[in-house]
């Protein structure tokens, strides 16, 4: 019988050490293959901060993308009131670097323009709040000199040719007002004499403004309320974007305030009417985000109406500092906007409280440079308005201070409750009254009806029994062979989409079922731009 061999203690320890080393090597391989695989798929890039509090810091791509924001879980964590929790997303692959803004409050900037999504080249700087970055190869440095913080300059209307749009049967009368992104003109109907306001986007507006301008036109048609400025349509004519809307001749609340003081009863009536408008908008999940006197307009009968949904927080962008950019009007910005936090209807309530504060005291609760004001929204309590104007009733002061609470849960639960606390009594007839339309109703087509291709000038005469619009008669490859049909229904022409690939739109709204056309209606079939006309 053979005696079994016994492994010596030395060999046992050696074998154990080998097993430990093999296990450690296996664990290391288990932890690193993801990064190794990603580095194989992702260019050898890193993000370098070239200006701001983190200047000189580098961030490697451990996977094909980096998340940038204030939230602790982000790959690049930034601090400051201009940074949203999840602010931007930067992806990299062998073919492209793509920077995408994640609907941040104060924007992602490239080349002095706010961007939604852009393809970057290496070493092209972009800016988020007080921070400037470039994407470079690992270990590489940025080009010299380092770009300074982005500064915003308004687009001067005088530096460009006068832009115009052609509206059937309307003539342009005069300029009503202008801002950094758009100019508003008064148009008059040749026969009826009715007036409309037409907002025309400046040619020099950057892509972000163009997208938000389109959004304003679309959402304006969606919101229908007696205390919201009526939007009749959005469109383009010869690459000029415009919004057709109700003309309000009595000007803005800012103009009224500049002309002299308002009575307490007038203040309550104005703010109460805007409360009704905001309550309606909030029920539609729409939050204005730029409540200020310039955006409260008056009809001929003195009714207050809220304007500029959609790009309202952009049109007030006038004050920027080297520390970064600010979207909106800092003096009227809510606590949540200043913090870069999620907003809801109570944010608009905060801003409206500032408007009421200013009407009754003649000054805003927080003043100074842009970032100073932001800091005050975040940390300072407003001076009680009765300290400035002792004639303000105590109950009105309580309403103002409650609306200006830093904690939105301490404010009024909705705009109706705020209006009731002010003692506002709505006019039942006014609340139910339809908004007066400045567009001439469709007339009985005694003469010929047609659509005109605004890009080619081609005219398509319409048959009362029906005309199909398609690729052949419209002359556009993005139009389906049988795209839409127009026919006479009673005294109105109507249009329906024929299950087209790229959709049919009337005055910017998608056609999902038959829609009535009025003379001058703009029809979009894909990229083809047409106008409906009647003799």
Please report, in angstroms and rounded to a whole number, the separation of the first and last CA atoms in the chain. 120
Nearest to 242 by CA among 195, 181, 173: 181
Top-confidence range, 16-20, 170-174, 332-336: 332-336
pLDDT over 60 (residue 434): no
Neighbours of 422 (CB within 10 A): 21
Lowest mean pLDDT segment, chosen from 204-218, 427-441, 499-513: 427-441
Report the side by side order of strands in the sheet with 515-516: 467-469, 484-489, 492-497, 515-516
pLDDT 10s digits, 93-138: 656 788 888 878 778 888 777 788 788 887 889 999 889 999 988 7
Residue 465: its pLDDT value, please?
67
Residue 143: its pLDDT value, please?
46
Pairing of strands 65-69, 76-77: parallel
- CA 491 – CA 217 distance, rounded (Å): 28
- CA 216 – CA 308 distance, rounded (Å): 7
Nearest to 382 by CA among 391, 392, 373, 390: 373
- Binning pLDDT at 50, 70 and 90, where does residue 320 land? very low
pLDDT over 60 (residue 65): yes
Q: Which domains does the chain carry?
A: 38-137 (2.60.200.20), 157-246 (3.30.200.20), 253-432 (1.10.510.10), 449-534 (2.60.200.20)
pLDDT over 60 (residue 155): no
Nearest to 239 by CA among 347, 161, 350, 325: 161
Cis status of the peptide bond prior to 152, with omega within 30 of 0: no
Lowest mean pLDDT segment, chosen from 269-283, 407-421, 429-443: 429-443
Question: What is the rounded average pLDDT for all residues in the chain?
Answer: 78
Query: What are the Cα distances from residue 242, in Å, to 166, 182, 185, 232, 310?
Result: 10, 9, 10, 11, 14
- Binning pLDDT at 50, 70 and 90, where does residue 370 land? confident
Catalytic positions are: 290
Query: Could you say which DSSP state residue 323 is in?
Result: T
Q: How many CA atoms lie within 13 A of 501 on its CB side?
A: 9
pTM, full prediction: 0.56
């Amino acid at each position: 019988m053979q005696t079994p061999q016994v492994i010596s203690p030395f060999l046992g320890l050696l074998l154990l050490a080998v097993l430990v080393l093999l296990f450690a090597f296996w664990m290391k391989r288990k932890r690193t293959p993801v990064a190794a695989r990603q580095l194989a798929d992702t260019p050898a890039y890193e993000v370098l901060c070239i200006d701001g509090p983190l200047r000189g810091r580098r961030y490697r791509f451990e996977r094909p993308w980096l998340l940038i924001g204030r939230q602790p879980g982000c790959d690049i964590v930034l601090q400051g009131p201009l940074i949203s929790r999840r602010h931007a997303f930067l992806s990299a692959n062998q073919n492209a670097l793509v920077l995408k803004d994640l609907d941040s409050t104060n924007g992602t900037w490239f080349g002095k323009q706010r961007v939604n999504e852009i393809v970057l080249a290496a070493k092209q700087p972009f800016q988020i709040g007080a921070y400037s970055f470039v994407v470079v190869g690992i270990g590489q440095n940025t080009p010299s000199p380092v770009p300074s913080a982005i500064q915003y300059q308004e687009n001067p209307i005088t530096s460009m040719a006068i832009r115009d749009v052609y509206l059937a049967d309307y003539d342009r009368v005069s300029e009503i007002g202008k801002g950094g992104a758009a100019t508003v003109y008064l148009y008059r109907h040749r026969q009826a004499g009715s007036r409309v306001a037409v907002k025309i986007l400046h040619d020099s507006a950057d892509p972000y403004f163009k997208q938000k301008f389109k959004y304003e036109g679309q959402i304006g048609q969606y919101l229908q309320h007696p205390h919201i400025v009526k939007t009749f349509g959005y469109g383009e004519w010869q690459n000029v974007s415009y919004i057709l809307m109700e003309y309000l001749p009595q000007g803005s609340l800012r103009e009224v305030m500049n002309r002299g003081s308002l009575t307490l009863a007038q203040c309550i009536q104005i703010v109460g009417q805007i409360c009704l408008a905001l309550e309606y908008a909030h029920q539609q999940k729409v939050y204005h985000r730029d409540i200020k006197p310039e955006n409260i307009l008056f009809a001929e009968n003195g009714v207050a109406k809220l304007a500029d949904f959609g790009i309202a927080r952009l049109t007030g962008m006038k004050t920027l500092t080297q520390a970064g950019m600010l979207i909106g009007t800092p003096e009227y910005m809510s606590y949540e906007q200043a913090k870069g936090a999620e907003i809801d209807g109570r944010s608009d309530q905060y801003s409206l409280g500032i408007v009421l504060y200013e009407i009754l005291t003649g000054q805003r609760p927080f003043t100074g440079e842009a970032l100073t004001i932001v800091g005050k929204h975040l940390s300072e309590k407003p001076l009680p308005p009765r300290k400035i104007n002792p004639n303000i009733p105590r109950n009105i002061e309580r309403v103002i201070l409650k609306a200006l609470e830093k904690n939105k849960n301490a404010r009024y639960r909705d705009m109706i409750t705020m209006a009731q606390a002010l003692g506002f009594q709505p006019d039942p007839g006014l609340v139910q009254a339809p908004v007066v339309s400045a567009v001439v109703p469709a007339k009985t087509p005694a003469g010929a009806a047609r659509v005109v291709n605004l890009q080619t000038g081609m005219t398509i005469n319409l048959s009362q029994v029906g005309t199909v619009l398609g690729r052949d008669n419209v002359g556009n490859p993005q139009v389906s062979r049988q795209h839409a049909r127009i026919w006479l229904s009673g005294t109105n022409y109507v249009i329906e989409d024929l299950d087209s690939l790229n959709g049919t739109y009337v005055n910017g709204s998608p056609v999902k079922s038959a829609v009535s056309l009025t003379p001058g209606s703009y029809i979009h079939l894909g990229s083809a731009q047409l106008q409906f006309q009647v003799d």
